[in-house]
Copies of this chain bind each other. A is one copy, B any other.
Amino acid sequence: MLDILNWTDASPEARTRALTRPASSSSAGPAARDIVDAIRDQGDEAVRAYAKRLDGYAPGDFRVPEGVLKAARAALDPRDAEAIKAAADAVRRFHVQQGYRGYSVETWPGVTASRRATPVDTAALYVPAGSAPLVSSLIMLAIPAQLAGVPRIVVVAPPAGDGGVNPALLAAADLLGLDEVYAIGGAQAIAALSFGAAGLPRADKIFGPGNAYVAAAKAYVSSLPGGPAVDLPAGPSEVMVIADETADPDLVASDLLSQAEHDPSAQVMLVCFDAATADRVTASVAKLLEDLPRAAIAREALAASAILVCDSVDDAIDIANIYAPEHLILQAESAERLLAGVRHAGSIFVGAWTPEAAGDYAAGPNHTLPTAGAARAHGGVSVESFQKTTTILRASEAGAVALAPTVERLAALEQLDAHGLAMRLRRERANTGDVAPDAGPRAGTKRRKTKETDVTVTVNLDRDGPIRIATGIGYFDHMLDQVARHGGFALDVAVEGDLEIDGHHTIEDVCLTFGEALRAALGDKRGLGRFGFELPMDESRAAAWIDLSGRPFAKFEGEIPGEFVGEFPVEMTAHAFRSIAESLGAAIHLKVEGENAHHMVEGCFKAFGRALRQALRVEGDALPSTKGMLA
């Protein structure tokens, strides 16, 4: 059933053939293009006509009413709801670490170059939901979209049964906080999202798997001028397992079958080091197939797949790098060497205890991955997939003068005289006072000297370093470092304190001075709005919301156990934020739950730093997660 190729003895042609994906013979491409063109030219009516013809479902409004979503959730088996929530939590824990980094650097004296990340405005998530509801696909797309802060997330799914969308999928959407779902599938759904037709919004980027028509339509619309972006080039799903003679044949076989049951065109490859392993796995596949409901599909996929028997770990690494598999499973004693050597793969599963199924559903990493060798140049869907970056340049008068000779020289070399002129005009106007000076950096320094302490705090909101903190209280230093690092600004705190008594005055006075310095740095740019951030930290969870309103208000919810973290008195946590709120003139709400005081205090400061970063910079790489919550 699975062809066996001896890699070592095989000719170069046989090797190439074994690692070449079968060409698609589908006629989906031209058909999908016809549908897209018709909908572009004829609009709503064409959407309805294709939906009627292909899905058998063309209601007045494709949108699923909110009541139907709520009813589906109410009807969902609570154990399914629990599984969906648990999977979403793990996916969120993994993806919250992602996102393009925003930063600023001074590239020339007087020239500040920055990068910021922002979400796409409208993301469309296509979720196949014909016979079975692919709730895992919805989780894998919705969580990174929410973490990126996408303002409008729309879900499209083919109608199931006699109209409407599969109830389990609707329930999952509701659990994930998604309320905009359309019951339409196929190339007509992709086209409607590309042009904004039949009540569907125009999407800036379309995500998700689908059949050959959906894949072809995505590729086509993304090639049109002004067309939406798409997540990944599409192809049938695939797995490569590298197993040695120590591998359990049943575990290898069950992993191969997990892939094979997806689709008759799914790709399954086993790489091993001896014929006996190949035989054992083949026997186990045959045995396990007997009880498999989707055995017919799996058999078809296996018929087009292969076992490669090679001589060495280096050969196996070469095979994986040539093939660049979507999924790579390592069940071999040399797993670490294989892992280090493989450069091209969508997702790698290390060791016997890590089936691909774990990653498909609930382990954390995304399951929307590059197929058909696209792993040579693409990764899977991530928070970055829902963002884009903008670079920002600010030159001062002095900066323009510093840059000018280099720019003018290169413009002359490239014979682009207007470019040279634009720079020369600045150089000539410099130091004449004819052009208004630019605003300075948003920086502030404050000193607070009492009988008890002498505190100096400097912040620069337009730089993300250096961070220098020395309060004499190690854990408090660590906390302020968290705020600046996660807030993305430079911070210098110097203290002469009365630590011989206790940390109270130092912490309070540092916080008051910090708030004052921040306020000074913000200048008249307050009122930037309300920003929130929530983060998990081991067993703890902390959330912070800030409104730089000018009006001080502080609210702290949570019970932190114990008295001290290092030399830091736990009871000072709430007090620290009250002090900052007072001197900064801001509303600060903090909420923390957990068991470990260290995590809980650190979570508060980190979440505060993250919320501050958004409030100060409006950077999209800071992840607003009030949306990213399961209800």
Residues of B within 8 A of A466 (CB): 598, 602
* A344 CA to B287 CA, complexed, in Å: 56
- Closest residue of chain B to A254, judged by CB? B422
Inside 8 A of A108's CB, which chain B residues have their CB? 90, 362-364
Contacts of A350 in B (CB 8 A): 392-394, 438
Q: Residues of A within 8 Å of B, CB-based: how many? A: 155
Query: Which stretch, A34-42, A375-383, A443-451, A502-510, touches the partner chain B?
Result: A375-383
- Cβ contact within 8 Å between B83 and A362: no
| A441 at the binding interface (Cβ < 8 Å) | no
Binds B, one of A291-299, A549-557, A576-584: A291-299
Chain B residues with CB below 8 A from A223, complex form: 219, 223, 233
| A-B residue pairs in contact (CB < 8 Å), sample of 27 | A23-B225, A90-B107, A90-B108, A97-B103, A98-B115, A100-B384, A105-B364, A118-B343, A121-B344, A121-B376, A132-B416, A204-B376, A204-B377, A229-B377, A254-B418, A258-B416, A261-B417, A293-B415, A298-B418, A344-B388, A346-B391, A347-B393, A348-B391, A350-B392, A353-B399, A379-B391, A481-B481
User: What's the Cα separation between A115 and B144 when bound, in Å?
Assistant: 15
Whether B389 contacts A382 by the Cβ 8 Å rule is: yes
The binding surface of chain A is classed by DSSP as mixed
Interface: A470 (CB within 8 A): yes
* Contact between chains at A400 and B225 (CB < 8 Å): no
User: Is B393 a contact of A348 with CB atoms below 8 Å?
Assistant: yes
Q: Mark A244-260, 1 if CB is under 8 A from B, else 0.
A: 00101011001101101
A101 within 8 A of B: yes
Instruction: Report if A395 contacts B (CB, 8 A).
Output: yes
Are A135 and B393 interface neighbours, CB within 8 A? no
Does B113 lie within 8 Å of A364, measured CB to CB?
yes
With both beta carbons as reference points, the residue of chain B lying nearest to A250 in the complex is identified as B425
- Take A363-B107, A474-B477 as given contacts and tell me if A352 and B411 are in contact as well, using a CB distance cutoff of 8 Å: no
Interface-central residue, A111, A205, A257, A346, by most chain B CB under 10 Å: A111
Q: Which 10 A-B pairs have the closest CB atoms?
A: A379-B389, A107-B364, A365-B391, A229-B377, A83-B409, A254-B422, A257-B418, A113-B364, A355-B422, A357-B419
The answer on a CB contact under 8 Å between B105 and A97 is: yes
List 6 additional A-B contacts (Cβ < 8 Å) besides A353-B395, A358-B395: A83-B409, A94-B107, A226-B373, A336-B439, A361-B407, A470-B566
A90 to B109 alpha-carbon distance, docked (Å): 11
Q: How far is the CB of A396 from chain B (nearest CB, A)?
A: 6
Q: Is A11 on the interface with B (CB-CB < 8 A)? A: no
Cβ-based interface call for A349 (8 A): yes
Query: Is A93 an interface position by the 8 A CB rule?
Result: yes
Separation in Å of the A299 CB from the closest CB of chain B?
12
